[in-house]
Chain A
Amino acid sequence: MNLNFIKTICPYCGTGCGIILQVKGGRAVTTLADRSHPVSRGGLCIKGWTAHEFIHHPDRLTKPLLKKNGKFKELSWDEAIGLAADRLKETVKAHGPDAVASLSSARCTNEENYLFQKLIRAGLGTNNVDHCARLCHGPTAAAMAYALGSGAMTNSIADFSGAECILIIGSNAAETHPIIMGEIYKARDNGAVLVVVDPRRTEVANNADMHLQINSGTDIPLIDAMMKLILDASLENREFIASRTDGFTEMKEYLSQRTLEELSRECGIPLEDIRKVAELYARAREASIVFCMGITQHACGTSNVYAICNLALLCGHVGKPHSGICPLRGQNNVQGACDVGALPNVYPGYQAVADEKNHAKFAQAWGRDLSRKPGLTVTEIFAAAGTTVRTLYTMGENPLLSDPNQGHLMEMIPKLDFFIAQDLFMTETARYADLVLPAACYAEKTGTFTNTERRIQLLRKAVDPPGEAKDDFSILCLLLKAFGLKGDYADPSEVMDEIAALTPIMAGVHFDRLGTHGLQWPVPSDDHPGTRYLHKDTFTRGKGLFVVPKYTPPKEMPDENYPFVLNTGRMFSHYHTGTMTRRSPFLDREVDKPFVEIHPADAARLGIVEGGGVTVTTRRGSIETFARITTRVMEGSLFAPFHFSEAPANALTIEELDPDSKMPELKVCAARLEKG
């Protein structure tokens, strides 16, 4: 009987759990939990347990498609690759290399992301390559790299269980990173105090020791108040501040400008509660801060992350086991995609493109002259679509559902000269494409994913792609060849060797070293065992830097016409734009309708009943969805998950950008709620 059990990595969130696909006769029939996996240890969330369900879905794309007169027609791979290469070359010739923009994918492997950015940088000569990290931890990467020297989670997931105090800010990990939440609960069972800061009473808040239900977007006032209180009580770690940080004097000066009462009023938390939390955090021997989209998806996202770094530096809670700054990454390989350079301003390994030495190094390695100008970000690409950006190439991204202000995108995309989309399914975005290339999903390819704790893990091929679909690695190899670049890689391990040679933080990473437990970068040499926590004796940048945050209140606050604060995010049984989860019968049955969370008092006032139809309107657009009446949201607040294409929450969101990282303010905008 043809039955195999293939160890691989879950394709959903950044936790990177181990799954075992049971493959019978070329089809993945069941998912099992991997009991020997270092992160998940035999546990999975509802999405992990059903990771096999969408693989053989009949909606999978099986042939390259070309749009002619508004209809898609099949074509051969030779024609498709030839056409794609021709159109890209034509654009470069007519409008210059910067007229091409591209989106790489946090869903694809490290090797694929590396090849993708190499194709764009070396093949086309532009740095216009970005991906959806912009919309999740762009501010984190920017701020932590500036303040500490590295944008990644400083500690490991297993480290949580030893902490004495865990501060969770703007993360609903119980729904979005359930397996990490298990580790945090373990810490609580061991006696740690769990404090949650969130405007919603999330699942995490329900299980916490304290919940500070702050006003949306007021994280900086809260953290500033905490720092003031810590300084007032002389609980700061003076030795750490003196020996390992810079900028403390400026920080102190900044803090002295505001009064505690002011700050407390702004964030809506009584001073006593802030004091309690500040002291808990400062007094703990080991304390971790966990944060997520609630911090980053604001127009002052970068400053929010600075504030968090400041707090950790003040107490010296970084650079040691069990205590650190832990951004939880969203996508399975968003960490890796950033690591291997799918960003407009850095080459693989966060080596800045503007730096002459890096430029020379990569130009020599790839044998092409490269652009010195940092490229456009996701949000800038769509703003320039049809004007300076003439041709767009996306790999495994669905910006129409994931990016803010959907209506604007729908206007801009058709203005492009040519749009190439590479995906598993005919997504909302792919429908707008001129050329659609059918790609392979996680179960159909070999490569590596890097999870949120910097663990590079092997993905193993379990089944073949459907029809003529090819894995992204093969597609990219064909395109690289079409541009006269090296495209004859025997397999992804050869690509990883190339990455290792060019990227100091991954210099010791080779497929034969990864096994089941993978390696946590930095891995500077072939015999290095990987790094459990960062910034041990010195920070990556030398000294940790206190950076004065620039607080800007949310751009759009409720008013007469739009009296509600609208928050967006994820819920436990679906993942991001729902391309995969909504095609998993089990997950779709769990939640098959869009919804918006409404406080009972608001519902009563407007005569809205549980499950009833409602319309949510903002200045950008309007969606029809269903009411879920719950005290999880505060009175005057709404929460809408963005998984549902029939009621896309991002038709409502605002594209107000964080000036430093170009992150849109997805977490706060003003909205109106109507019955029916």
Chain B
Amino acid sequence: MSLREEVLTRVKALLKDRRVDGVLGLSLFEKEPVPCLFEDPFDVDALVIEPKWLLAKLAMNILKTAPQEYRLGLVCRGCDDRAVTELAKRNQLDRNRLTLLGIPCTAEQARKCLCSTPYPREIVAGERVEGMYPMNDEQAQLFLTGSMEERMKRWARELNRCIKCYGCRNVCPICVCIPCKLEDDLWVKRGHIPADMVSYHLIRAFHLSDTCVSCAGCTDTCPVNIPLMLLQVSMRETLKSQYAYEPGLDPERVSPVLTEQEKGEGTLFQEPAWIDSLRGGS
């Protein structure tokens, strides 16, 4: 049985047993995929699982606007799974109303997204493939290494194309703030393109510093091909090396930049070295 057929069987069963009221997935419409909320088991035959299509934010919006008792199933990949985890941590969705049907990505997809964890925590079918690290990718290295001046030139050239479509914010499964600072004239000058290269892009990137699930949605949607996801790489590395924290992997653990100072034995994580040195010096 192919991966799609297995998922299809699961979705049908979920709907027939009335364990969920609807399942969000992709459906084939005139030979092309489009998001679809399946509520009738008979419609499910149109379900497809390719291409990668971020659905976590849609699921969140469905749950927010649906009646309280509405339960939703979600066909999700690794990135959506992590996004759901992060959204749940931030009280944006009720995890109890959501049933995940996890599927792994192909190796090719993982390469395209530079995804280190191309599978959800639980998968209903298929085989997990090795992830890959952005730092090992030649193209990505161009943007992440080199002297300050080289990086500056490279990024300035990229960001200068920005047409301020807000697509990176719109597709980001974690960008949910209302109001959004990127719309505020105080932070990002309105009415000009390119969107202010420093404040628009760095504020957006920084707001996701400890939540970015590296879904590559921003890079995928950018009409002028700015590799936006690469802005997150160094911050992710820092979180990992300093706090052994990766967003979206552990539903229980709060982001280290939000936690209070841990005292005594049994700390969840080690304080990074720079804090110790400051303590010693003060």
Contacts and interface: CB of A to CB of B under 8 A. Distances in A.
A and B touch in the complex (CB under 8 A): yes
Interface of A: 1, 3-5, 7, 20, 22, 24, 30, 32-36, 40, 42-46, 48-49, 174-175, 178-179, 181-182, 185-186, 189, 203, 206-207, 515-516, 571-573, 586, 589-591, 595
B193 A33 contact: no
B66 A1 contact: yes
A591 B191 contact: yes
A572 B192 CA distance: 8
Contact of B161 (A22, A30, A32, A207): A207
Contacts of A24: 65
A644 B194 CA distance: 22
Contacts of A179: 223
Contacts of A42: 220-221
A591 B185 CA distance: 11
A20 B29 CA distance: 12
B29 A43 contact: no
A3 B62 contact: yes
Residue among B29, B37, B170, B223 facing the most chain A CB atoms (10 A cut-off): B223
Contacts of B70: 1
Given A35-B220, A206-B194, A515-B30, 20 more contacts: A1-B22, A1-B37, A3-B22, A7-B30, A7-B34, A20-B35, A34-B34, A36-B33, A40-B223, A43-B165, A45-B163, A45-B223, A49-B165, A174-B193, A181-B223, A185-B161, A186-B225, A516-B31, A572-B163, A573-B191
A3 B37 CA distance: 7
Given A182-B225, A516-B32, A203 B193 contact: yes
A529 to B, nearest CB: 15
A20 B193 contact: no
B163 A49 contact: no
A36 B193 contact: no
A515 B22 CA distance: 27
Interface SS of chain A: mixed
Interface in B17-76: 21-22, 29-37, 39, 51, 53, 58, 61-62, 65-66, 70
Interface in B190-209: 190-191, 193-194
A46 B163 CA distance: 8
**What are the 8 closest A-B residue pairs judged by CB atoms, nearest first?**
A43-B223, A516-B32, A182-B223, A591-B191, A178-B163, A36-B32, A182-B224, A45-B165
A41 to B, nearest CB: 9
A358 to B, nearest CB: 35
Contacts, number: 113
Contact of B165 (A1, A3, A46, A595): A46
B183 interface: yes
A603 B191 CA distance: 20
B121 interface: no
B165 A48 contact: yes
A174 B163 contact: yes
26 contacts: A1-B37, A5-B36, A7-B29, A20-B34, A32-B58, A34-B34, A35-B53, A35-B220, A36-B32, A36-B51, A43-B222, A44-B167, A44-B223, A46-B164, A48-B165, A49-B166, A182-B224, A182-B225, A206-B160, A515-B32, A572-B163, A572-B164, A572-B193, A590-B164, A591-B191, A595-B191
A182 B66 CA distance: 37
Contacts of A591: 190-191
Nearest to B220: A42
Contacts of B212: none
Interface of B: 21-22, 29-37, 39, 51, 53, 58, 61-62, 65-66, 70, 160-161, 163-167, 170-171, 183, 190-191, 193-194, 220-225
A590 B165 CA distance: 11
Contacts of B62: 1, 3
Contact of B167 (A33, A207, A516): A33
B175 to A, nearest CB: 13
Contacts of B31: 515-516
A296 B36 CA distance: 44
Contacts of B222: 43, 182
Contact of A49 (B21, B66, B170): B170
Contacts of B30: 7, 515-516
A389 B183 CA distance: 48
A81 B34 CA distance: 39
A371 to B, nearest CB: 41
Nearest to A15: B223
Contact of A181 (B21, B29, B224): B224
A42 B33 CA distance: 12
Given A5-B34, A35-B51, A206-B160, A44 B165 contact: yes
Contacts of A30: 61
Nearest to B36: A5
A172 B160 CA distance: 15
Contact of B183 (A45, A186, A589): A589
Given A7-B32, A44-B223, A516-B31, A589 B170 contact: no
Nearest to B190: A590
A178 B165 contact: yes
A30 to B, nearest CB: 7
A178 B190 contact: no
Contacts of A43: 165, 167, 221-223
A42 B221 CA distance: 5
Nearest to B61: A30
Given A1-B22, A178-B163, A33 B32 contact: no
Contacts of B61: 30
A571 B190 CA distance: 13
A608 B24 CA distance: 56
Contacts of A185: 161, 224-225
Nearest to B33: A36
Contacts of B51: 35-36
A186 B66 CA distance: 41
Nearest to B169: A49
A222 B67 CA distance: 65
Contacts of A586: 183
A4 B183 CA distance: 28
A4 B34 CA distance: 10
A22 B61 CA distance: 11
A595 B192 CA distance: 12
A604 B65 CA distance: 53
A58 to B, nearest CB: 21
Contacts of A571: 191
B160 A207 contact: yes
A183 to B, nearest CB: 9
A586 B29 CA distance: 30
A114 to B, nearest CB: 23
A181 B163 contact: yes
Given A30-B61, A182-B225, A516-B31, A589 B190 contact: yes
Given A1-B66, A3-B62, A572-B193, A33 B221 contact: yes
Contacts of B35: 5, 20, 32
Contacts of A207: 160-161
Contacts of A573: 164, 191
Contact of A1 (B21, B167, B171): B21
A230 to B, nearest CB: 30
A119 B219 CA distance: 48
A5 B66 CA distance: 16
A49 B167 contact: yes
Contacts of A206: 160, 194
Contacts of B160: 206-207
A175 B162 CA distance: 10
A315 B37 CA distance: 54
A132 to B, nearest CB: 24
Nearest to A178: B163
Given A20-B35, A24-B65, A175-B163, A203 B194 contact: yes
B32 to A, nearest CB: 4
Nearest to B52: A35
Nearest to A186: B225
A20 B26 CA distance: 13
A48 B33 CA distance: 20
